[in-house]
Amino acid sequence: MVGTDKHKVEGVTLASLTVTGFTRSGVYAVATDGLTVRNVTAVKNGVWGIAQEGSVRGVFRGNTARDNGDAGLFLANTISAEKGATDTDGTLVERNRLEGNRIGVTVRRLRNLTVAGNHLTGNCAGVFLVGDENKPRAGKVTVAENRIVRNNKSCPKTARLDALQGSGIVLTGTEDTLITQNVIRDNAGKSPLSGGIVLFKSFVGTSSERNRISDNELSGNSPADLVDQETAKANTFEANTCQVSRPAGLC
């Protein structure tokens, strides 16, 4: 499904099919408005299970993405140019099952999006929220009521990203994002990005700012349940249930 900036593909629903073994993506969409992808199974595709870029008002509900080479679900502004974050006008990622991928869900350079009620396990990392120096900044994302457990698969370093293992939720270069009411357990590894919820400066040096992490239940994550490497950037941690944090005192 490929539209253009001036003429987006509108109102398409893709439902109840299996896509497996494709060199790049099982499902791939560009420049859509109101695309719904539901009850799709995307397995063992070379890069992404289900991917979308340059689109608004999408709904991704009840899908299974398993054992894909990169992200099970990948949502971005564009993969071909450096641009500021796109406002998705409320794209929704909910009640999906994401297992055995490099990353369960990647949200890259987007704003105004919700990731809720998903089950993520067996990935190298559960949820990645990615921004950089471009304006507008990535952010205003809500990640809520997800179950993110044992994402301990090991994935090697790439040109853009350190080796991954044991990451629950990673925020890098994002702003004004809410992480709330998630269950995040037993994500353990020795990557610089390992931990339950990790705030990490982006790989072009952009800080994560004004993000709020509240009311999450975390346990058994290593090296810590909460990891904040942006301590001077007004990120807030409130009412989380956890045992270990870096720095100490966030639980």
Region 71-76 average pLDDT: 98
Q: What confidence tens digit (pLDDT) does each residue in 162-188 have?
A: 899 999 999 999 999 999 999 999 999
Q: What is the pLDDT of residue 82?
A: 79
In the structure, what pLDDT confidence band is assigned to residue 161 with cuts at 50, 70 and 90? confident
* Domains contained in the chain, CATH given: 9-246 (2.160.20.10)
Q: How many CB atoms lie within 10 A of CB 2?
A: 11
Q: What is the pTM of this model?
A: 0.96
Contact 105, 120 (CB under 8 A): yes
Q: Is the pLDDT of residue 84 over 90?
A: no
Q: What is the pLDDT of residue 55?
A: 96
Contact 181, 147 (CB under 8 A): no
DSSP 181: S
Q: What percent of the chain has pLDDT over 70?
A: 100
Alpha-carbon distance of 37 to 14, in angstroms, equals 5
Q: What is the pLDDT of residue 5?
A: 80
